[in-house]
Amino acid sequence: MDDERPVERWHGTIIRDCRGILGRDLVAAERLFITSRRGLLALEIIHDSVKDLAGEPERLRRYLNSEAVREPEGTPPET
């Protein structure tokens, strides 16, 4: 579908910019933070945030992982 192409290209651009700032490939959760968004406004906000964090790889890493699911403290491991 042609409507998907701009979104896919923008995903690629954002991922490329992130890799340049971080100096490494993105882990699955970081990639999902970007690719789970399909709306152009959401992608614009993410891309602007990524560009604003250029030169601050640790802050970018935290931003990209800000939605990662974390177990509450004291949660016993699954058996």
Query: How many domains does the chain divide into?
Result: 1
Counting every residue written for the chain, the total comes to: 79
pLDDT at 79 over 80: no
Question: Which range marks the domain in which residue 23 is found?
Answer: 4-64
pLDDT at 4: 78
Residue 79 placed within a domain:
no
Residue 25 located in a structural domain: yes
Residue 35 has pLDDT above 60, yes or no: yes
**71 in a domain, yes or no?**
no
Over residues 44-66, mean pLDDT: 98
Task: Give a yes or no: residue 45 inside a domain.
Answer: yes
Assigned domain for 57 exists: yes
Radius of gyration in angstroms for the set of CA atoms belonging to the chain, rounded to a whole number: 14
Look at residue 11 and tell me if it is in a domain. Answer: yes
Structure tokens at 15: 């991922």
pLDDT band at 77 (very low <50, low <70, confident <90, very high): low
Q: Is residue 21 part of a domain?
A: yes
Cβ-proximal residues to 57 (8 Å cutoff; 6+ apart), any chain = 21, 22, 23
Kindly give, in sequence order, each residue whose CB lies less than 8 Å from that of residue 34, ignoring residues fewer than 6 positions away: 11, 14, 15, 18, 26, 43, 46, 64
Structural domain includes residue 78: no
Q: Is the pTM of this model over 0.85?
A: no
